[in-house]
């Protein structure tokens, strides 16, 4: 018996060893024995985890004892199969059925262990959350939601105020609407451009567009990410707050993912638009957390200085071009002023500024 089989228990080790020894001996049962070997290899890490945790937690072995009993019986069956002669067709059929039944039993054990593992994980998560909630109760017995240092800075509402003069974004706005409103296959769109070209303003303008508002209604969320990215937990808590739901206490990022899926499914009867604005390359994994779920009419708009290559082919991409000189100068005139507060600036002054600085997006200086 190999060390791995012994570590799991006599029953499992005996069955695994017997199957491996019988594959070449019982030629007419070889395909079925190969299948059983593959099933056992899938089962091995699950049983090993259970036995290891039982030892660490000083728990009884009852959960694996039943498994080992079935495997001991299976080992006896395999051993008998290896002794069946090629001409004993009646026995071949009978043992073939029993081997198929053994393989199905082992696969059933895998499913049971996987379900039990998911159940135990959720029980542990619930217990941890309950303990955490108990610790954050104040003396009056009322629960307080504890935020990390940057949660309070996270918002999910769409900025409602647009600049009085916007130029050069109409074509880009139509492209975004074509992709996210009319293309059912597009669920993630990444808008890229250098800093200061108007990505955030374009995303804001898109969210406030009447057609977009009509489709997504109150399910439009605008999350500024920036270089110092908020945690997934912080964003999820603010999404709950935005929807006027009880804000959950989140233990970790896995807990946040579970609650995010619950919220999206809850409001998923209506279209959802999520904007993740100014995502830096280091925060690509944050975006990936939001694209895990397949929900109808769930659209994500990302703005970034980078194309975010790790998002792969699931993302549509649109490159926003900088303003042309004419529009840039018009905006510069609008926001700049002379010492006498006059908005009239001579052409030679404007041209000198643009030629000397080489800047195209100076209108963002008004911020």
pLDDT, tens digit, 9 for 90 and up, residues 241-261: 888 888 888 888 888 899 999
- Specify the pLDDT at position 14: 85
Residue 276: name the closest of 229, 310, 326 by CA. Answer: 229
CA 246, CA 176: separation in Å to the nearest integer? 33
- pLDDT higher for 63 or 229? 229
The residue ranges of every structural domain in the chain are 3-135, 151-319, 325-366
Contacts of 143 (CB under 8 A, 6+ apart): 133, 136, 137, 249
- Specify the pLDDT at position 111: 76
What number of other Cβ atoms are within 10 A of residue 242's Cβ?
18
Kindly report, residue by residue over 291-343, the tens digit of the pLDDT: 888 888 899 999 999 998 888 888 899 999 887 777 777 777 676 654 445 55
Whether 156 and 221 have beta carbons less than 8 Å apart is answered as yes
Lookup: tokens for 253: 């990022």
CA 253, CA 231: separation in Å to the nearest integer? 8
DSSP codes, 37-97: HHHHHHHHHHHHHHHHHHHHHT--SHHHHHHHHHHHHHHHHHHHHTT--TT-HHHHHHHHH
Question: Hey, is 125 helix, strand or coil?
Answer: helix
Q: What is the mean pLDDT of residues 196-224?
A: 92
pLDDT-wise least confident of 100-104, 117-121, 199-203:
117-121
Contacts of 36 (CB under 8 A, 6+ apart): 19, 74, 78, 99, 102, 103, 106
Phi, psi for residue 92 in degrees, rounded to 5: -60, -45
Whether 268 and 189 have beta carbons less than 8 Å apart is answered as no
Kindly report, residue by residue over 159-176, the tens digit of the pLDDT: 888 887 788 889 999 999
- Specify the pLDDT at position 248: 87
What number of other Cβ atoms are within 10 A of residue 19's Cβ?
26
Residue 275: name the closest of 122, 129, 158, 171 by CA. Answer: 158
Question: Hey, is 259 helix, strand or coil?
Answer: helix
- Specify the pLDDT at position 61: 55
Question: Hey, is 295 helix, strand or coil?
Answer: coil
| Burial zone of 336 (CB within 10 Å; 0-12 exposed, 13-18 middle, 19+ buried) | middle
Cα–Cα distances (Å) from 195 to 55, 162, 304, in that order, read: 56, 19, 9
Specify the length of the chain in residues.
367
Q: What is the mean pLDDT of residues 60-76?
A: 69
% of the chain at pLDDT higher than 70: 71
Lookup: tokens for 29: 């049962």
pTM: 0.55
- pLDDT higher for 33 or 359? 33
Whether the predicted pLDDT of 58 surpasses 90: no
- Specify the pLDDT at position 96: 83
pLDDT-wise least confident of 51-55, 202-206, 231-235:
51-55
Whether 283 and 229 have beta carbons less than 8 Å apart is answered as yes
pLDDT band at 275 (very low <50, low <70, confident <90, very high): very high
Cα–Cα distances (Å) from 281 to 30, 228, 234, 302, 311, in that order, read: 51, 11, 19, 12, 11
Whether 153 and 230 have beta carbons less than 8 Å apart is answered as yes
At the top level of CATH, the class of 151-319 is alpha beta
Whether 84 and 91 have beta carbons less than 8 Å apart is answered as yes
């Amino acid at each position: 018996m190999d060390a791995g089989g012994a570590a799991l228990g006599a029953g499992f080790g005996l069955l695994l060893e017997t199957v491996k020894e019988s594959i070449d001996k019982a030629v007419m049962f070889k395909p079925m024995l190969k299948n059983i070997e593959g099933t056992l290899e899938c089962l091995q890490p699950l049983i090993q985890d259970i036995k290891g945790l039982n030892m660490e937690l000083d728990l009884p072995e009852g959960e694996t004892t039943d498994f080992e009993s079935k495997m001991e019986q299976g080992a006896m069956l395999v051993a008998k199969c290896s002794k069946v002669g090629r001409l004993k067709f009646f026995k071949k059929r009978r043992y073939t059925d029993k081997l198929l039944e053994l393989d199905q039993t082992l696969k059933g054990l895998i499913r049971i262990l996987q379900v039990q593992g998911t159940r135990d994980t959720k029980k542990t998560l619930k217990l941890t959350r309950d303990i955490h909630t108990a610790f954050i109760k104040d003396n009056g017995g009322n629960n307080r939601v504890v935020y990390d240092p940057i949660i309070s800075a996270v918002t999910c509402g769409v900025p409602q105020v647009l600049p009085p003069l916007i130029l050069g974004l109409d074509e880009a706005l139509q492209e975004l609407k074509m992709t996210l409103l009319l293309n059912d296959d597009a669920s993630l769109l990444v808008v890229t451009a250098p800093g200061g070209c108007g990505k955030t303003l374009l995303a804001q303008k898109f969210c406030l567009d009447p057609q977009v508002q009509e489709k997504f209604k109150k399910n439009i969320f605008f999350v500024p990410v920036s270089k110092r990215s908020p945690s997934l937990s912080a964003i999820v808590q603010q999404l709950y707050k935005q929807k006027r739901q009880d804000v959950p206490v989140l233990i970790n990022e896995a807990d946040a993912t579970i609650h995010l899926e619950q919220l999206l499914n809850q409001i998923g009867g209506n279209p959802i638009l999520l904007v993740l604005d100014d995502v830096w390359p280091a925060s690509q994994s944050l975006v990936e957390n939001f694209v895990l779920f397949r929900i109808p009419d769930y659209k994500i708009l990302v703005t970034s200085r980078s194309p975010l290559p790790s998002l792969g082919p699931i993302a549509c991409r649109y490159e926003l071009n900088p303003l042309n000189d004419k529009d840039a100068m018009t905006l510069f005139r609008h926001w700049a002023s002379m010492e006498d507060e006059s908005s009239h600036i001579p052409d030679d002054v404007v041209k000198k500024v643009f030629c000397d600085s080489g800047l195209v997006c100076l209108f963002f200086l008004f911020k």
